[in-house]
Structure 1
Amino acid sequence: MRSLLFGLLLLVGGSQAADSLQLRLLTEDYPPFNMLTPAKQISGSATDIVRELMQRSGIRYSIELLPWLRAYNRAVLEPATCVYATTRTDQREGQFKWIGPVAETSWVLYARSDNLRVLNNLEDARRFRLGGYAGDALAQYLIARNFDVDLATQDEHNVRKLLAGRIDYWATGKYSGALLLAREKISNIRPVLTFNTTFLYLACNVSMSDQLVSQLNDTLRKMQKDGTVAKINARYLPD
């Protein structure tokens, strides 16, 4: 009887803990995965996937859009805090508990249209100055391989640096780069090399329980199998 009562108390306590859980979800302006609409709403394909994931899992949450480094560092340091959409790398692996992937993208080098050089691979760009932004996995990837990377605090600054000739190529995501150029109505910058495919995740503070991480990953896999993820991506990602 005593063991039965103890088990019931554990069950009730666990239920109350789940009910009281609220996650702080942090993101940046990185369209089409996460972005601020003209109506000041946080949107994007990864945002919609994460919202559906939280709803199906019965988890209360808030979403806040911040500069990337601030969002990233808060998720590293603060319990019940996650950041998305985050590239999973060896360098970051032990800093988070990982749910995903929630998105996939490619890394691209852009050049001004009057740049007629042919790049057959990433190594062909080694002797040139590349533009990236601080804290981004793409920029970290290039720096780790000893490329000359000029860092900006925001990716749109790299567009202006490229147009002004301060960098030779702009290294950015396939979708985010194209959407940024369309938003700024810039037509004299073009993609010249695709050099990597990466997966983006919901990255949560290491204090999150392994049980909850497993539950969220299971729910996300069900969303992938039932077509929910594909339907959301179809609304945001160009063919």
Structure 2
Amino acid sequence: MVAASSQVSANDGERFYIFTESYPPYNAAVTGQSFAHEAEDITGICTDMVKAMMSRLDYHFIMKMRDWSLAYNWVQGRENHGLFCTARTEERENEFQWVGPLASIEWTLFAAPDSDITLNSLDEARQYKIAGYKGDVMSDYLIDEGFDVIANVSGEQNPRRLTLGQADLWVTDGAVGPLIAEEKHGITGLKPVLVFRETPMYLAVSNETDPEVVEDLQSAIDEARAAGELSAILAEYTQ
């Protein structure tokens, strides 16, 4: 077991706060809602990986599911706070300390099942209206690059926007898109028209957290990976 830092040890009563969002199959509330207050009420690929990591530490931790934008802003500036699964990009590199990697996301543009849109490059998508959501790394990237993005607080309604003609494309992870479309709206057959990037996801830890804590967390996730736990978790959700 990794030795716990004095800042977040079981003995001194301090807590490590871990936030996530509803983003199945990586993170999901067992109730199907978009929020949760307890670790046992949250599941998913990244969630189970983080739990495997924390099981190797003598840390008290509290896990909550919240809106992504709220959680992202809340974690920054607060000691002993972390956020997962956070895409590690060049733009975000200095905003956090990073523990991982956990899983990876494929930046994918989906079209409606009856759409005839085809793309050979990302640049060809500039003529289309793209559904995304606020604070999402993929949506933010497209916005910064000048694409026409409808950025909403949540991405759960975006499959309906495709079928209703309110958007031509939806940017999301390749595994997340079809799952949300079917579970939330009964929509099947979304067309993945372009995968334009792949990014590893991490536990993003606030810069105010003691680096020794981050080292403990990294050692614990490395141990879980070496023991085969992370690959087993991924296989459980993807087979």
Query: What are the within-5 Å matches in structure 2 for residues 151-190 of structure 1?
Result: 151-183=151-183, 184-190=185-191
Give CA-to-partner distance per residue, 1:198-220, whole Å, 9 cap, x none.
11111111111112212211221
Q: RMSD value over aligned CA atoms?
A: 1.7
Alignment partner, residue 193 of structure 2: 192
Alignment partner, residue 30 of structure 1: 23
CA distance in 2, matches of 1:55, 1:117: 46
The amino acid across from 1:208 in the alignment is: T
Q: Which runs of 5+ in 2 are unaligned?
A: none
Structure 1 residue 53, shift from structure 2 partner: 0.8
CA distance in 2, matches of 1:229, 1:16: 27
Give CA-to-partner distance per residue, 1:130-185, whole Å, 9 cap, x none.
11100000001111211111111111121121111111100111111121122122
TM-score, normalised with respect to structure 2: 0.88
Structure 1 residue 193, shift from structure 2 partner: 1.2
Matched, 1:211 2:204: no
- Aligned residue pairs, count: 225
Structure 1 residue 186, shift from structure 2 partner: 0.4
CA distance in 2, matches of 1:71, 1:179: 23
CA distance in 2, matches of 1:76, 1:165: 37
Percent identity over paired residues? 32
CA distance in 1, matches of 2:193, 2:7: 54
- Relative to its length, the structure with more helix (as a share) is 1
Over 3 Å counting, the alpha-carbon distance change for 1:69 and 1:79 in structure 2 is same
Structure 1 residue 117, shift from structure 2 partner: 2.5
Give CA-to-partner distance per residue, 1:58-77, whole Å, 9 cap, x none.
21101111111111111113
CA distance in 2, matches of 1:151, 1:105: 19
Misfit runs of 4+, over 3 Å:
14-17
Bigger radius of gyration, 1 or 2?
1
Q: Which moved more, 1:19-28 or 1:165-174?
A: 19-28
Alignment partner, residue 235 of structure 2: 234
TM-score, normalised with respect to structure 1: 0.88
